[in-house]
Amino acid sequence: MIRYLAESQRWLRLAMLATGLVVALALPWLVYPPVAMDIAVWALFAVSVDLLLGYVGLLSFGHAAFWGAAAYTSGLVAIHTGAPYIVGVLAGAVAAAALAVPIGYLSVRRTGIYFAMVTLAFAQLLYFVANQWRDVTGGENGLQAVPRSLFGVDLSDPFYFYYAGLPIVLLGLAAAWRIVRSPFGRVLMAIRDNPARARALGYPVDRYKLLAFVLSATLAGLAGGLFAVNHGFVSLQEVYWPTSGKVVMMVVLGGIGTLWGPILGALLVVQLEDFLATSGFDGIGIVTGSVFIIVVVLFRRGLWGTTSHLISLWRDRRRPPSPRPPDVDEPSLARELEKA
């Protein structure tokens, strides 16, 4: 019986993965190609935030710092060296990781709501630095005309660039998936659920948190660098607080601690904003803010989380009642919900 269930779960996972890959490959046929690339990079960005929020229980409200720093770095590398876009994107990820070490070191000293406030403040610090350091960042004008080259191959068509960028996104997503499923990821979840016990078992909690923070920032940097190359420019918006808020919104909308959810959230938020912008609606925040309020008040599990919760309820009803072991993948925030 148990083996049967495990088998069916495995098939379900594989089917989901296959569906996801097919959608990812077909995306530029379904939506306007530059938007398709946007969805892919925001999905990776959202997963990087979920890695911290869903699996370590830390809400970073300042991930725009890493996304933006990587975007500027990739842009500068591409403009000044003309190196292949992959080099620029990787340089961006390295810059984001380097920046995450001091910020993470200071931020993991606080938890919960304090962590959110502190990361937000550090991102704002970076915003002011980017604004003042005009010689390098271009200040309010931003970085213009970021080239995208690959050994002479013409990538100017957004349709082809999508397929040039997609492997980087998929590698990033696979890395996140691997981290969550690794022994390291198990320790992170233990820290999330009971930091005191994890510490008592001898795990250096702060060092684990810092490493998770740096890994998350690296993935965010990968996404940010690709975003810069995709758009051909970098603006101050990339390091500004609404960017940090937008990515958190995607995670919560999709479902905290589900990895699939944030991808879905990115797809929906990018599409919604694109729709509102092209229909000429002035005041996107009214719609996205309202959607966010509704999700936080009524559907805290997010779309993915709510769906899988309903499926598991339905399964439990069909099976004779047996004590269900606590699902380790369930986010702690969602668990609080059940207590309330």
Partner 1 sequence: MPDGTDAVVNFLQQCFNGLVSGSFYALLALGLAVIFGMLRVVNFAHGACYMLGAFGAYILLVEAGVDFWLALLLMPLLLGVFGMALERLFIHRLAALDPLYNFLLTFGVTLVLQDLVKREYGIQSQPYPRPSALSGSVDFGLFSYPAYQVFVLATSLVVCGAVWYVLTRTRVGMIVRASTERPELTRALGINVGRWVTPVFGFGIALAGLAGVLAAPMRAVNPLMGADLVIAVFAVVVIGGLGSIFGSVVAGFGVGLLQALANLYAPTLAQTLVFLLMAIVLLWRPAGLFGREEAPA
- Please report, as ranges, the residues that interact with partner 1 according to CB under 8 A: 59, 61, 106-107, 109-114, 116-118, 120-122, 124-125, 128-129, 131-132, 195-196, 241-242, 245, 248-249, 252, 282-286, 288-290, 292-293, 296-297, 300, 332-333, 336-337, 339-340
Least Å distance between CB 18 and partner 1? 33
Least Å distance between CB 245 and partner 1? 6
- In angstroms, the CA 71 to CA 56 distance is 26
Tell me if residue 318 falls in helix, strand or coil. helix
Helices vs strands, H then E, count in the chain = 15, 2
Q: Which is nearer to partner 1, 1 or 196 (CB)?
A: 196
CB contact set of 114 (below 8 Å; sequence gap of 6+):
none
Q: Which is nearer to partner 1, 225 or 302 (CB)?
A: 302
Q: Which is nearer to partner 1, 35 or 59 (CB)?
A: 59
Residue 23's identity, in one-letter code, is V
Least Å distance between CB 295 and partner 1? 8
- In angstroms, the CA 340 to CA 107 distance is 29
Least Å distance between CB 102 and partner 1? 8
CB of 168 closer than 8 Å to CB of 91: no
Q: Which is nearer to partner 1, 37 or 120 (CB)?
A: 120
287: β partners: none
Least Å distance between CB 39 and partner 1? 21
- Angle (CA) 287-117-273 rounded to 5° is 20
Q: Which is nearer to partner 1, 25 or 337 (CB)?
A: 337
C-alpha dist (Å) from residue 123 to 43, 68, 241, 313:
20, 9, 7, 40
Q: Which is nearer to partner 1, 23 or 136 (CB)?
A: 136
Least Å distance between CB 289 and partner 1? 3
